[in-house]
Amino acid sequence: MLNLSFISFVVITMASTSETATIARDSWLRSFMDKYVLSADGSNFKDWEEQLRLAAAGDGKLRYLVDPSPPSPNTRATADVRDAFSNYQKESAAVKNVLFFSMHPALQRQCVKFRDAHEVFSRLSTMFSQAPRIIQYDTAVRFFEANLNDGQPVSSHVLKLIEYVETLEGLGCKIPDELVVDRVLHSLSHVKGFTQFRVNYNMTNMRKSLHELHSLLVQAEKDMGLSGSTRKDVLAINVKGKKQFKRNAGKKPIQVEGKGKAIANCSTKPKLLKGNPLKDTCNYCNNKGHWRRNCTKYLDDIKAGIVKPTWPKKHKKAK
């Protein structure tokens, strides 16, 4: 529970500023105060600080957070100077109230002794913000360890790497563009479909920016059937449109739709299932020694979504 001295301080501070320095209900800071609360352990400080800066900038009061308070005017100062300083104190007190009501009570008690918004904000930043060197180290580790996994969209992966690069640049750590592109390409190594893309990119000596590379990878993902929408279509073909074949003794195969009745005779000729696979020629890759249903190129193309399966993998015998 809050002690009486703290409650008295808040009441006195609000009373002294309620007439001339209140935060309007339609202001950005008022909206921030109603939505965001800094936790006692500062675990959400980064998000809290970002939203506070945006709200203060929207109301034109960011300077009360980031700039120290001007010195008090001396006795020889003009009336305009004294009035300007008085108005600054009132506005700073109003922003300070926003800070108090948007933090945990435990933090409020620690910040009571500070006189203006800048001192409160500086204290919180010192307590919870990471040093630039730590941020740079953590970001660099994430950038060099990130890899694309099967089933993960390539767009979100590359955009996250771009975000890491921009963060490092903001900290004064500039990574050469070619090294960044190499890192992005290497991060795709765990997904087999992008191996050929990486080879083609290097063999043709391409020179693309990060955002251009992102567009190429998104298009390549769609062309190879690795995107989520393409996989859904392939699944629909393999499951909903799956056709089964039943054989009757001495008769042609009958095409059956699911568990329904026979709808038509199979157009595939039975002679394709006869013969010696070691002597016959595959009608897909035109190489001898196997049939199409055993053709590795045909099976790989089906898996990649390049072709649609037209030959059943299994043939059920009629009861």
Which residue from 104, 83, 85, 82 is spatially nearest to 93, judged by alpha carbons? 85
Q: What pLDDT does residue 179 have?
A: 93
The confidence score (pLDDT) of residue 119 equals: 92
* Edge-to-edge strand ranges of the sheet holding 243-247: 262-265, 254-257, 243-247, 316-317
Rounded Cα distance between 308 and 302, Å, is: 6
CA–CA gap between residue 201 and residue 196 (Å, rounded): 8
The contacts of residue 233 (CB under 8 Å, 6+ apart) are none
Check: CB of residue 21 under 8 Å from CB of residue 91: yes
State the number of CA atoms in the 13 A half-sphere of 128 facing the CB.
20
Would you write out the chain's pLDDT as a tens digit for each of its 319 residues?
444 344 444 443 444 344 334 566 568 888 888 888 998 888 888 889 889 999 999 889 899 999 988 888 888 889 999 999 999 999 999 999 999 989 999 899 888 889 899 999 998 988 887 767 887 888 899 999 999 988 889 999 999 999 889 888 887 889 999 999 999 999 998 888 888 888 888 888 888 888 899 999 999 888 887 765 444 443 333 444 444 444 545 555 544 445 544 444 544 444 445 566 666 788 888 887 777 777 888 888 888 878 777 755 454 444 4
Task: Select from 312, 216, 309, 296 the least CA-distant residue to 256.
Answer: 312
All residues at 6 or more sequence positions from 226 whose CB lies less than 8 Å from its CB, including other chains? 154, 191, 193, 305
Q: Output DSSP code: residue 129.
A: P
